Structures are given as structure tokens and as C-alpha cells.
Chains A and B, each alone.
Chain A
Amino acid sequence: MLCQFCQKRIATVHFTQVVNGNKVEMYLCEQCAKEKGQFSFGSPFGFNDFFPAIMELNQGPSYSAVKSNVQVCEKCGMSYEEFQRVGKLGCSNCYTLFGELLKPLLKRLHGNTQHSGKVPENVSRNINTSKEIEALQELLNKAVQREEYEKAAEIRDKIRALERDKGK
């Protein structure tokens, strides 16, 4: 995610502040977060500061690291902070772990986040099998509703066989 203030660097800090009884949340980069911290009156956000909610404001802003930022990939030891430094991911699992944080970057790089090209044969076979199982499942439900138990048992066997295949 990009810093919501400068729109340039990647956000690493989750910034919350209560202004006029409203909780304001922002994702900021480290640099912007530091600057914000020095003038905790909510002016940078364009809120009206002249109202009596000053007391609440004085609670000051609270910071917490963006959740995924402190997470480390259990498969390869990569942290999001390391990714930002080297620009590379460590393993397949990193894509799952940092997925949401990566999306804005992918959008910027490719204008898209969903693959539409080639699919490996074993994967597309699995996708087809899943679709087939789904269709059979529907037939099964209908058969049960109609109390055609013999037919239902037949369909159930087919589904089991397909599921075994898929697991391979």
C-alpha cells in the first residue's frame, strides 16, 4: 500500500488519531509518520481544529506497525521490510502472505492483478475436476431430493473417485 499522504513511498505505519470524537486512520510511510508525529493537531488532514474536542486530541496519535509489516514468511524468512529493500520476494508463500500489500504495486506495474495467461496442465486439470465435482454435487442434491437413492450412491462414488484423482 502506498503512503496515503505522499503517495510515493510504501506505507509501513498505521496512524490513528481521534479528532472531534472521530477516529482518523491513515497508512503512512515512515518519513511522513515522523513528520505527522511532531504536529499532532490534525491540521494535515484538513480537519477543523477549532472546536472543543481539543481534550480528545490531546490523547495524541497512536502508532502501530502495519500488521503484515512485522510478519515474517515462515517458509523463507522474508519480511515485508526486506521486500521493500530488495524488491524481490523470497518464495511462493510470500505472495500469499504479502498479497494484500502487493496489490497496489502490481496494479502500478501491470495495470492488473489477475493472471489471464497460460495455466500449467496439471493445474487446469484440477480446475476442471473441481468444476466437474461441483456439477455432480448438484446432481447428487437433486437425486436425494427426489429420493433416488440408488442414483445418488452412484454419483457419490463418482465424486469420491474424482476427489482421489485431484489429490494426486
Chain B
Amino acid sequence: MKGTVNEKGPESDVVISSRVRLARNLKDYPFPFKMNKEQQNEVLNIIKDSVLNDNDPLLKDIKYYGISSLNPVERQALVEKHLISRELAESQKESGILLSSGEKVCIMINEEDHLRLQCIFPGMQIDKAWDLCNSMDSMLEKKVKFAFDDHYGYLTCCPTNLGTGIRASAMIHLPALVMTGYIKGVLDACGKLGVAVRGRYGENSEASGNIFQISNQMTLGLTEEEIITHITNVTFQIIEQERALRNELYKQNPIRFEDKVFRSLGVFSNARTISTEESLKLLSDVRLGVDMGIIKNISMDTLNEIMLLIQPANLQKYARKLLNPAERDVMRAEVIRLKLSQNGQPTKGD
């Protein structure tokens, strides 16, 4: 499975991927946490059948995976890829996912809502992700009746998703904003604009590779298009700030800038044992070097592939065996060296 995130999209120097998620529930069933096993199975089968038994080209390469049929490493690998939530991975409910072969479409069944329809595109393509989500939703509503209220719109288990049920987001790499400390101002401003920004791998932004997820907070009272436009505009403003700061930092001291990038590349491409945290930190510097054209012979595709593989479960999947933390650190260093060498020799500077 070659994931979406391995492709390059528009504004890929800052935006890694875009995603739109729609929350939907079936009209005649209580929300998942109030369903008994029998109802859980019924809902699972209704959704599964309406997607799998369809000749529509949009649905043709979609496969079903029952959560209980996946082993813990496989489930965790899906969480690391951001395709399913931790909640679903640990779910005791009858639940599953419908996943397209390119991993552009992932439908979670019986998570917090009966359906969580997600479309993921590389780079800055929130509008495209919405278009696909919207057509899939329209297709599904021909077969199943969604819980909908004239006043409240699409009914969701949690009131925070009520109305459109939409969550539009972009995964963005902001090393310059973090380095300069301006990120705090950005986070504050976003909060006032009804936009949430979270660290991709946790609270500590440096440890999480300077990767953030930006998404809309409000779902009720605005149209989907208004929400998409708003989040897109805010994201573009952040992109512009990040780019300006990168250039400014470089201009102020090119030698120091290049030194930082190449030192990180040196450790990244030569380490014999490395933790997830350290590798994400170094990866951020290397990515910045590639984005700025300082590092020439490494492709963004390779870095995106490495970003996925260095996470614990995907690493073990790749190795095809369970590894303890110390073994993982060795394996991680090995994978990084291998992927970088397959990409061609990284430039060692002039």
C-alpha cells in the first residue's frame, strides 16, 4: 500500500497533506456507544454492503478490514498513518474500516459515529478532498438514510461535530515559525479565528518534528464551502509566514543555516541507533534543507516514506517482526540509511 502522504502535492514545501472528514449516522440506530452487539453488527453490515456492492468507479478499489481481524501492530500502524483514530484501534465494538488501495479514502465504521468518511490528499488540496468526500457522501445517501434534522443538520454523537459534521484539516511543517518562537502568536491568532492547531505527534513541537495539524472548530451554521474556504485562507496565511521566515533566517546567516541542515543530515544518514523523537527532529531539518533547495539529491517522496516508516508500528511491520525498543532504534537507523541510499547519494555539501 503506497499511502497518499508519499506523493507530492501543491505547496508541498510546507503542507504535507490535506484531509476532509465527514461524520454521519444512520437514522434508525442509536449512536455507537448506545448500541448493543447486534445493532453494531447490523450497522457494520449495512455500511459495508452499501460501499462494497457498488459498481461506482469511486468505490471500486475499496477493501474492508474488520478491526478485530487486525493484530495490534497493524492497528497501531494505521493510527500512525493517521488513517484511524486511537479510539477505533482500541475499540471493543464491532467496528471496521473501508480503505481504498491508494489510502486516499478511509471510512471508519462504528467509531464515535456510525460513519467517519475521510479523504486524504497530498499537499494543499483541502478543496479536492472535500469534493471527493462530498460525492462519496451523496452516493451513500442514496442507499442509507442518514440522521438529519432540519434545524441541526447532520446529527452526531458529540455536539462539537453537529451540523455539517465536517472537519477539514491540513498537516503542515513549520520549522521556521517554531525556531523563531513566532509559532505562539500563530497559535493564539488561530484560536481567535475558530481554527485549532495541534502538534502532530504530541504537545512538544520540536519532538514532533515541527509538524502541526490545523483544522476548523465550528461545524454548525456555516456551509461546508465556507468552512473549507476559511481553513484554506488561514492555512495560506501561515504558509506565507513560514516561507518568509525561512528566507529571512537563511539571509541572516546562510552558513549557520546550512551548517544546521547538513549536521542534521549527517547524523540522520549515518546513525546506527536512533529514537523516534530524535529522528523526527532531524527529519524536520533535512526536510527544511530539501524544501529550501540546500540539500539537492533527496526527494520529498523519500522523506515522506521515511516519516511513516520510523514510527514504531510501521517500523515493525516493515521489519516483519516484533521488536523491543532498543531493537527498534537500530532498525530505524537502518531503514533511514537504506531509504536514503536508494534515493541516491545525499549531497555532502560543496
A-to-B contact residues, CB < 8 Å: 75-78, 86-92, 95-96, 102, 105-106, 109-123, 127
Q: Can you name 6 A-B pairs with beta carbons within 8 Å?
A: A77-B34, A88-B33, A89-B31, A95-B152, A96-B149, A115-B149
Give the contacts of B129-156 with A (CB-CB under 8 A): 134, 137-138, 141-142, 145-155
A113 CA / B218 CA spacing, docked (Å): 11
B134 near A118 with CB under 8 A, answer yes
Give the contacts of B187-225 with A (CB-CB under 8 A): 194, 217-224
Main secondary structure of the interface of B (DSSP, over half): loop
Question: Chain B 147-177, CB within 8 Å of chain A: the 1/0 string?
Answer: 1111111110111101110100000000000
Q: How far is the CB of B121 from chain A (nearest CB, A)?
A: 20
Chain A residues with CB below 8 A from B151, complex form: 113-115
Q: Residue B100 at the A interface, CB < 8 A? A: no
Known A-B contacts A76-B30, A90-B30; A117 and B162 likewise in contact (beta carbons under 8 Å): no
B-to-A contact residues, CB < 8 Å: 25, 27, 29-31, 33-34, 112, 134, 137-138, 141-142, 145-155, 157-160, 162-164, 166, 194, 217-224, 227
CB within 8 Å: A-B pair count: 111
Chain A residues with CB below 8 A from B155, complex form: 89, 92, 95
Point out which of A88, A119, A121 has the most chain B C-beta atoms below 10 A from its C-beta: A88
B159 near A117 with CB under 8 A, answer no
A70 CA / B27 CA spacing, docked (Å): 25
A90 near B33 with CB under 8 A, answer yes
Known A-B contacts A77-B34, A90-B31; A115 and B163 likewise in contact (beta carbons under 8 Å): yes
Chain A residues with CB below 8 A from B194, complex form: 111
Main secondary structure of the interface of A (DSSP, over half): loop
B222 near A106 with CB under 8 A, answer no
A91 near B34 with CB under 8 A, answer yes
B158 near A87 with CB under 8 A, answer yes
**Other contacts beyond A90-B34, A118-B137, A127-B150: 7, CB < 8 A:** A78-B34, A111-B194, A112-B221, A112-B222, A113-B220, A115-B149, A119-B153
Q: How far is the CB of A109 from chain B (nearest CB, A)?
A: 6
B224 near A92 with CB under 8 A, answer no
Known A-B contacts A76-B34, A89-B157, A90-B30; A113 and B221 likewise in contact (beta carbons under 8 Å): yes
Q: How far is the CB of B132 from chain A (nearest CB, A)?
A: 14
